[in-house]
């Protein structure tokens, strides 16, 4: 009985000493605020709108790409919707100039309904066991693309796109961004 009690106390003490994992809730990058810095194709077909929420209106086909370093434990969150009757495929991917990785693909067929989308970006930041691969220092290309599935689509909407992280990731990312800005000539 005494051993069992000691074991329980030790488990409680060691569990209390560990840091808790913060939920992914802290916005690190608001892609709406970074809209003017994005590469848009076709450029003139994109705009900022407010359809029940702030959003980027995009053509289908179309692509908008932000080039940036990413926070550790990052997650891209957005909601997608369409204006028009034709279905649209929404794709989220990441590139480093050499390869493109598609991380998510969603087809939306019903107009006026928002579909939440979340994509894990944690593989693109942080420390890795490698002499050559240092994702914290890579300027990643985060691409949001739209494609017509059939028919003539109306506009595609990317609602409140942002990259969020946990508390520690947000603090580390802000320090890294400040250091990078201060080191630039």
Give residue-wise pLDDT tens across range 65-115: 999 999 999 999 999 999 999 999 999 999 988 889 999 999 999 998 999
For the residues 143-157, what does the mean pLDDT come to? 93
- Predicted confidence band at 181 (pLDDT cuts at 50, 70, 90)? low
Confidence of residue 54 (pLDDT cuts 50, 70, 90): very high
The helices-and-strands tally (H runs, E runs) of the chain is 2, 11
> Beta strands 47-50 and 155-165: pairing type?
unpaired
By DSSP bridging, strand 75-83 and strand 47-50 are unpaired
Question: What's the token pair of residue 64?
Answer: 């908008």
Question: Superfamily for 36-183?
Answer: Galactose-binding domain-like (2.60.120.260)
CB contact at 8 A, 68 and 121: no
Give yes or no for a contact between 153 and 86, defined as CB atoms under 8 angstroms apart.
Answer: yes
Q: What is the residue-wise DSSP string for 107-169?
A: EE-STT--EEEEEE-GGGSS--S-SS--GGG--EEEEEEEEE-SS---EEEEEEEEEEE-HHH
- pTM of the complete model: 0.81
The residue length of the chain stands at: 185
pLDDT at residue 128 tops 50: yes
* pLDDT (tens digit per residue) in 7-26: 433 333 434 443 444 465 89
Domain borders along the chain are 36-183
């Amino acid at each position: 009985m005494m051993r069992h009690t000691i074991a329980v106390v030790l488990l409680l003490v060691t569990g209390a000493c560990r840091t808790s994992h913060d939920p992914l809730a802290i916005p690190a990058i608001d892609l709406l605020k970074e809209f003017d810095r994005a590469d848009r194709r076709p450029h003139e077909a994109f705009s900022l709108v407010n359809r029940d929420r702030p959003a980027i209106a995009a053509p289908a086909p179309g692509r908008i790409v932000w080039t940036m370093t990413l926070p550790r434990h990052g997650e891209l969150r957005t909601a997608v919707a369409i204006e028009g009757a034709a279905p649209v495929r929404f794709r989220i991917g990441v590139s480093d100039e050499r390869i493109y990785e598609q991380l998510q693909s969603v087809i939306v067929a019903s107009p006026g309904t928002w579909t939440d989308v979340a994509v894990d970006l944690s593989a693109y930041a942080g420390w890795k066991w490698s002499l050559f691969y240092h994702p914290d220092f890579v300027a990643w290309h985060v691409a949001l693309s739209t494609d017509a599935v059939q028919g003539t689509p109306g506009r595609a909407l990317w609602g409140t796109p942002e990259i969020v992280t946990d508390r520690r990731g947000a603090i580390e990312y802000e320090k890294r961004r400040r250091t990078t800005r201060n080191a630039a000539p």
